[in-house]
Amino acid sequence: MDKFVIRGGNPLVGTIRVSGAKNSALPCMAAAILTEEEVTLENIPQVRDIETERKLLVSMGAEVELGDGDARHRTTISCRTLSDPVAKYEIVKTMRASSLVLGPLVARAGLARVAMPGGCAIGGRPIDLHIKGLEKMGATIEQAHGYLEARAERLKGAHLVFDKITVTGTEDLLMAAVLADGETVMENCAREPEVTDLAALLTAMGAKIEGAGTSTIRVQGVARLHGAHYRINPDRIEAGTFLIAGAITAGDLVVANCNPNHLRAVIAKLEEVGVKIDIVAPDAIRVRPGGRLMAADISTEEYPGFPTDMQAQYMALVTQAEGVSLVKENIFENRFMHVQELVRMGANIKVDGRTATVRGPSKLSAAAVMCSDLRASASLVLAALVADGESILDRVYHMDRGYERIEEKLRSVGAEIKRMGNVFAPREAEAVAD
């Protein structure tokens, strides 16, 4: 099992490039199910979740070509034949986004059998909102032996109101609606850039969609979709992680190939903490010291609020800020698993329910720590970059699910980080199931 070995103390200086958004790429790959023609996607990140999605599509009968060399961030998908419309447990058990094939499979093939998804152990992400929506559109759904089986001769347009905002639910039902008979109106939709990215691809494939990026989306169903060539948005969470990497190390870092408009909440909070932020190009942000870091509270919200996927990284940052910061997690109920590891490194953090109280600044010292989920892993990398001594991060396969070659990128701007094999045995008693 791979580890990261990180020696802290180096400010990050230079330019670091952001990869394509994993959370856009996954639904866009699933959208290829909706047509018999080829869909080519550019700016695909080389991360573990993408490989899992490739295996899933191939297992259902699709042909998926991943580029290499200069084309390594391109994939071409042909779902001309869907011989086995089943998302098998052995493939999807490590990835929650597997539920995104439910809607397009029912819409295209009239049948879907999908294993209940896995992924990071950060709390409940119920699939019931997907089910309710599909049933309103005329599907019959049964659950048995860990699988959902959905059937529909032809989905029909419906008026759908989400009980709570859900990104994957919005995406899944949006894909179902584009081939349904009639109009589908979806209310209380997620407004994340990843939803807008998917809608743009579907529109390029011939779908009729209005309102993506707002709380109400209208879809006029069409008889068929065609192929398309589309470029995925940059990953706003990777970009935000690198901004904090520059800030926490008091470096002078340009984060390139990003969209500053997708990072407004993160940028505003970093400026409140005392970090100097400059938009140096339409797709580049410079982060540099602005004086002492000062405590500031956050409360995670759906987009355009402060993203839950940046909460752990922000917590690492404010361990170095003067004063008391309150970090409130409103999206997932089990997303403070990084706290005990940050405390092992010397952070002063107390958790009460969904609120963590961070007192700083704390002098962090190197330790052997364990990664428990994707974003927790990122927070530990950030903490290790400023810790005194050499830290060892175990179970970094979590990081590989969503960050492309992060150790190489960080090393290119001055971090002392290397990937190694089995450096030490995991602390089994503290391990967290995936």
Per-residue pLDDT tens over the stretch 233-249: 999 999 999 999 999 99
How many helices (H) and strands (E) would you count in the chain? 14, 24
Q: Which residues pair with 421 in a beta bridge?
A: none
Lowest-confidence pick of 81-90, 122-131, 338-347, 371-380: 122-131
pLDDT of residue 109: 94
Distance CA 394, CA 371 (A): 6
Identify the CA nearest to 176 among candidates 198, 145, 191.
Answer: 198
In this structure, of 3-17, 55-69, 187-201, 300-314, the range with the lowest mean pLDDT score is 55-69
Q: What sign does the dihedral 351-356-362-367 (CA atoms) show?
A: positive
pLDDT score at 104 = 97
Residue 212 has pLDDT above 90, yes or no: yes
Q: With 80 as the cut, is the pLDDT of residue 277 above it?
A: yes
Give, as one character, the DSSP assignment of residue 164. S
The letter for the amino acid at 357 is T
Q: Indicate which residue of 28, 120, 189, 371 is catalytic.
A: 120
CA atoms of 318 and 294, how far apart (whole Å) = 8
What would the DSSP string read from start to end of 246-262? Answer: HHHTT-EEEEES--GGG
Average pLDDT over residues 299-323: 97
How far is it, in rounded angstroms, from Cα 270 to Cα 362?
A: 18
For 273-407, strand residue ranges (E) read 276-281, 284-288, 298-299, 323-328, 348-352, 355-360, 368-370, 390-394
pTM of the model: 0.93
What is the set of domains in the chain, with CATH numbers? Answer: 3-19+234-430 (3.65.10.10), 22-231 (3.65.10.10)
Please determine, for residue 294, whether its predicted confidence score (pLDDT) is greater than 50. yes
Length, in residues, of the chain: 434
Q: Are residues 319 and 349 in contact, defined by beta-carbon separation less than 8 angstroms?
A: yes
The pLDDT confidence band at residue 126, using thresholds 50, 70 and 90, is: low
Residue 119, pLDDT score: 43
- For every residue of 241-303, DSSP letters joined together read HHHHHHHHTT-EEEEES--GGGGHHHHHHHHHHT-EEEEEETTEEEEE--SS-B---EEB-ST
Is the predicted pLDDT of residue 128 greater than 90, yes or no?
A: no
- pLDDT, tens only, 339-354: 999 999 999 999 999 9
Q: What is the mean predicted confidence (pLDDT) over 324-351?
A: 94
Answer yes or no: is pLDDT of 112 > 80. yes
Q: Residue 223 has what pLDDT? A: 97
Average pLDDT over residues 412-424: 83
Mean pLDDT in residue range 104-112: 95
Residue 173 scores a pLDDT above 50: yes
pLDDT digits (tens, 9 = 90+) for 22-45: 999 999 999 999 999 999 999 999
Q: How confident is the model at residue 146 (pLDDT cuts 50, 70, 90)?
A: confident
Q: Does residue 178 surpass a pLDDT of 80?
A: yes
pLDDT, position 66:
84
On whether the CB atoms of residues 328 and 354 are closer than 8 A, the answer is: yes
Residue 67 pLDDT: 79
What is the C-alpha to C-alpha distance for residues 338 and 380, in angstroms, rounded to an integer? 7
What are the residues whose beta carbons fall under 8 Å from the beta carbon of 1, sequence distance 6 or more? 394, 395, 397, 421, 422, 426
SS3 133: helix
Q: Is 120 a catalytic residue?
A: yes
Residues of the chain with pLDDT > 70, as a percent, come to 94
